Amino acid sequence: MMLEIRNFSKTYKGGKKAVSNLSLNIEPGDLYGFAGHNGAGKTTTIKAIAGVLDFEEGDILVDGSSILKDPVACKKKLAYIPDNPDLYDYLTGIQYLEFIADIFEIPSSAREARIRRYAEDFELLNDLGDLIGAYSHGMKQKLAIIAALIHEPKLMILDEPFVGLDPKAAKTLKDIFAQLCQNGGAIFFSTHVLDVAEKLCNKIAIIRQGELITAGLMDDIVGDSSLEEVFLELTDHE
Amino acid sequence: MSKLWSLTRLQLLGWFGLNKALHTKIPGQRRKNLFTAVGAIFLILYFTGISYVYSDQVGKAFETVEALPLLPGLMMATASLVTLMTTIYKVNGTLFNFRDYDMIMALPVKTAVVVASRMMALYLLNIGFVLMVMVPAGVVYGLRAQPEPLFYGRFAVSLLMIPFVPIVAATAIGILIHLVSAKFRYKNLLNILLSAAAVLAFMAGSSSFNAEGVNIADITGALTGLINNIYPLAGFYVNGVVLGQTTAFLAYLLLSLGVFAAFAALVGYRFKRIHTRLTAASTRRRFVMGAHPQEGSTPLRAMYARELRRYFASPIYVLNTAFGVILFTAMSVALMFFRPESIGQLLEMPFFADYISRMAPLMASTFMALSSTTACAISLEGKALWIAKSAPVKAMTVFHSKLGVNLTVTLPAVLVNGLLLMGALKTGPADSLLLLTLPAAYAVFMSLAGLVINLRYPFLDWMSETQPVKQSASTLITLLVGMGSVAGPLTLVIKYPQLNAHLVSFGVLMLLIILSAGLYAYLAARGEKLLKSLES
């Protein structure tokens, strides 16, 4: 199993329960969408998987390692991109990528080729010498994606990855997703753009007020309807 | 007016995490807020107390030479000078480089009102300090001089005017420094150097008055010269507020308000243009991959290098945390060339020579106790904290990189200045050893204390770097801890001259080692959880 979420619950200080007893399995090759209204618990779940949010109940296993017991091993296998990636504005694009490459201990021999490849794919190569502070929102998003890819993760965890990307970059990202899944990796991403999820994902999970209301193969869940109709029906009427 | 207040209020709510403190529902957070508030009140009372004692001493001295009316003038000049020096490096963050610039400028509000609200924030930041200096001075003057009742009215009105002109001067200097440095590639470094040079120049200029050779018969004239030397507008203040000359009083009020209003209007008129020039990032020519190949590095070295870049990328961060180091170096170099007695005279600290010979290690440590880059190092991660949290490294690696930067700033200064002081003061073996070890122990302790305090009191959703660096609970508490840790032993040695200063210093050294070990153990045990619990 690439990602195993076991009875995960998260209660914030002050008593607000964000996610309740969520269990989900993501297998190699899965492109898993995660949908829900604003405040449903998507970002909380994603942050917990990425190891940036502490939790007390349940466990999350990345390729067999527990994020609670061995966070460093888990983080080495995954890549996380938040919904609005704030980066270090005082670094240049290339300095940031070199920094991430150092943190992930990517050998010098491999990093240049990878940076070149992804920077060319996202048309950012010429701008890597500029300060990130001078980048547009979309350019920062692209840089965050390149940084997430250079250690060749097995699992990608993304929060609203298509927001801010131009159509070409969105297409490039979709191609990369497909490639990674073909190679035995897995993707888990949250989205509000349901038609993208429907076209792209083989599996979908829908969460409402912190509780998982359905999860499984896209075809089984959608059937003859559309994901949008199913989503609205499940989230509004259940 | 309501728009001006709304925009000013928006900034005030961000100070020291005030709004969060008011609206939190978390019991633990409430306890923390209470602790911070108690600390802040203690700090205010402490400063006000010191200010009263200082005013009383100066008042007593002035009374003997029949120059008591100069006391409020001297304190007003001092408050103005400190306001000016501490505002220079706040200008960029408060006035121009704030994160919500786009949102604020898109509001249906005149640019002049936006500028006025930013300058009001600078005013409110300074008025508290002015009150702490001036109210005790007014009380001392009132008790000793028994002035006419009208004095109190003039004093109260003029009190509110004091920060205006220094803020205008500081803003003008700040803008000039930023505009000049913006033209260069290493603009942040140049900005830091020019700002530090400006502040040092004001300090040197204001203390250049030489008391030697003054005719005792004209001591009042000499003191007036001293005050005018510190701050020329003080003449109007003394004549108008203290001596009751209506023309001088009105001139002082009009000058203060007029200069402030005119400057706000002028900056408002050019605000967008200045903002664009100050914040525009230059783009380099087309990047060529492989033109500057870099060797790979370990995660810790990469984290440390990134942290060091972060430090030098922020002039307000550097100026606020390295000023102790700069002053320490200035003092050590000065002692190489001048006798301690002369420096004491220059600094208007008559006991300086006695203190420095008796307790040089403790005095040197004062500068280290006030220098902690770690007190806001976590806060400054801001919204980018997710990068450190999601990186495949242990929390201790992140902490080591932050501790490393503080020690990089402080330890070389300890070593170089320690050696300089040994030569200048011709210290014996015990003092020589303590001159190196005690400030170094303070540097280590303050690095760890600042980091732990910042982890407990983070301020991540800031709008301008000025907020975590200067207006956060974490920096306030760290300042309190630093001051307390050095003021305690210093007071002990000063109050009880029969005490062996070496023994006290050695005791403090041992205590600092134990406390530092405790703080490090705490970080190792709880750091991972604390870092993970931070929400940006």
The secondary structure of B43-98 as a DSSP string is HHHHHHHHHHHHHHHHHHHHHHTT-TTHHHHHHHHHHHHHHHHHHGGGHIIIII--
Can you tell me the mean pLDDT for B34-48? 82
Is B322 found in the same domain as B256? no
- Residue B461 located in a structural domain: yes
Residue A173 has pLDDT above 90, yes or no: yes
Q: Mutating which of B186, B276, B278, B289 best tests the A interface, going by the most A Cβ atoms within 10 A?
A: B289
Q: Which residues of A touch B185 (CB under 8 A)?
A: none
Is B326 found in the same domain as B270? no
Is B172 found in the same domain as B29? yes
* pLDDT mean across residues, chain B: 85
List pLDDT tens digits, range A175-186.
999 999 999 999
Q: Which residues of A touch B26 (CB under 8 A)?
A: 13-14
Is B303 found in the same domain as B446? yes
User: Do B290 and A112 make contact, defined as CB atoms within 8 angstroms?
Assistant: yes
Between B452 and B115, residue with greater pLDDT: B452
Number of domains in chain B: 2
Residue B211 has pLDDT above 50, yes or no: no
Is B242 found in the same domain as B184? yes
Q: Of B223, B250, B279, which marks where a domain is finished?
A: B279
Least Cα separation, residue B455 to chain A (angstroms):
15
* pLDDT mean across residues, chain A: 92
Can you tell me the mean pLDDT for B326-338? 84
Contact B340, A122 (CB under 8 A): no
User: Do A105 and B284 make contact, defined as CB atoms within 8 angstroms?
Assistant: no
Report how far residue B319's alpha carbon sits from residue B116's, in angstroms, rounded to the nearest whole number. 25
Smallest Cβ distance to A54: which of B314, B391, B533? B533
Q: Mutating which of B96, B185, B301, B390 best tests the A interface, going by the most A Cβ atoms within 10 A?
A: B390
Smallest Cβ distance to B299: which of A88, A102, A129? A102
- Residue B291 located in a structural domain: no
Report how far residue B72's alpha carbon sits from residue B82's, in angstroms, rounded to the nearest whole number. 15
Residue B4 has pLDDT above 90, yes or no: no
Is B320 found in the same domain as B196? no
User: Do A82 and B386 make contact, defined as CB atoms within 8 angstroms?
Assistant: yes
Sign of CA dihedral B400, B405, B410, B415: positive
Residue A164 binned pLDDT confidence (cut-offs 50, 70, 90)? confident
Alpha carbons within 13 angstroms on the beta-carbon side of residue A23 total 4
- Residue B341 located in a structural domain: yes
List pLDDT tens digits, range A213-227.
999 999 999 988 899
| Dihedrals phi, psi of B387, to nearest 5 degrees | -65, -50
- Residue B18 located in a structural domain: yes
* A188 DSSP β-pair partners: A32, A157
Residue B302 binned pLDDT confidence (cut-offs 50, 70, 90)? very high
Q: Is the minimum CB–CB distance between B187 and chain A shorter than 8 Å?
A: no
List pLDDT tens digits, range B105-150.
877 788 888 888 888 888 988 998 899 999 999 999 999 999 999 9
- Residue B207 located in a structural domain: yes
User: Do A103 and B289 make contact, defined as CB atoms within 8 angstroms?
Assistant: no
Report how far residue B216's alpha carbon sits from residue B432's, in angstroms, rounded to the nearest whole number. 41
DSSP string, B456-469: HS---S-SSTHHHH
Between B214 and A80, residue with greater pLDDT: A80
Contact B223, B212 (CB under 8 A): no
Is B441 found in the same domain as B317? yes
Q: Indicate the pTM of the whole model.
A: 0.80
User: Do B297 and A102 make contact, defined as CB atoms within 8 angstroms?
Assistant: yes
Residue A5 has pLDDT above 80, yes or no: yes
pLDDT given at position B284: 64
Report how far residue B268's alpha carbon sits from residue B171's, in angstroms, rounded to the nearest whole number. 13
3-state secondary structure B208-264: CCCCCCCCHHHHHHHHHHHHHHHCCCHHHHHHHHHCCCHHHHHHHHHHHHHHHHHHH
Q: Of B223, B244, B279, which marks where a domain is finished?
A: B279
The residue to which tokens 């005017």 are assigned: B161
> In one letter, which amino acid is B163?
P
List pLDDT tens digits, range B491-530.
888 888 888 889 999 999 999 999 999 999 999 999 999 9
The residue to which tokens 């076209």 are assigned: A199
Is B268 found in the same domain as B367? no
Residues 507-526 of B with CB under 8 A from A: none
Is B316 found in the same domain as B270? no
pLDDT given at position B210: 47
Which class for B292: exposed (0-12), middle (13-18), buried (19 or more C-beta within 10 A)? exposed
pLDDT given at position B346: 63
Question: Residue A95: closest CA among chain B residues belongs to which residue?
Answer: B306
Least confident of A188-192, B133-137, B207-211, B388-392: B207-211
- Residue B209 located in a structural domain: yes
Which class for B529: exposed (0-12), middle (13-18), buried (19 or more C-beta within 10 A)? exposed
Q: Is the minimum CB–CB distance between B294 and chain A shorter than 8 Å?
A: yes
Q: Which residues of A touch B313 (CB under 8 A)?
A: 90
pLDDT given at position B281: 63
- pLDDT more than 90, % of chain B: 38
Smallest Cβ distance to B390: which of A54, A80, A91? A80
Name which of B77, B290, B265, B34 is nearest B171 in CA terms.
B265
* B222 DSSP β-pair partners: none
Q: Of B245, B279, B313, which marks where a domain is finished?
A: B279
Query: Which residues span the domain enclosing B131?
Result: 2-279
- Residue B289 located in a structural domain: no
Residue B151 binned pLDDT confidence (cut-offs 50, 70, 90)? very high
Residues 224-283 of B with CB under 8 A from A: 281-283
Q: Which residues of B touch A44 (CB under 8 A)?
A: none
User: Do B382 and A86 make contact, defined as CB atoms within 8 angstroms?
Assistant: yes
User: Do A53 and B392 make contact, defined as CB atoms within 8 angstroms?
Assistant: no
Is B169 found in the same domain as B32? yes
List pLDDT tens digits, range A26-73.
999 999 999 999 999 999 999 999 998 888 899 999 999 999 999 999
Residue B308 has pLDDT above 70, yes or no: yes
| Dihedrals phi, psi of B47, to nearest 5 degrees | -65, -40
Q: Measured in Å, how far apart are chain A's first and last C-alpha atoms?
A: 30
Report the SS3 class of residue A79: strand
Q: Which residues of B touch A74 (CB under 8 A)?
A: 392
Is B266 found in the same domain as B118? yes
Report how far residue B283's alpha carbon sits from residue B290's, in angstroms, rounded to the nearest whole number. 19
- Residue B50 located in a structural domain: yes
List pLDDT tens digits, range B263-287.
988 888 888 888 877 776 666 667 8
Smallest Cβ distance to B287: which of A50, A54, A127? A127
Q: Which residues of A touch B310 (CB under 8 A)?
A: 88, 90
User: Do A80 and B391 make contact, defined as CB atoms within 8 angstroms?
Assistant: no
> Domains plus CATH for chain A?
3-88+155-237 (3.40.50.300)
Report how far residue B79's alpha carbon sits from residue B426's, in angstroms, rounded to the nearest whole number. 37
pLDDT given at position B212: 46
Which class for A223: exposed (0-12), middle (13-18), buried (19 or more C-beta within 10 A)? exposed
Q: Mutating which of A63, A75, A103, A121 best tests the B interface, going by the most B Cβ atoms within 10 A?
A: A103
Is B349 found in the same domain as B241? no
Least Cα separation, residue B90 to chain A (angstroms):
19
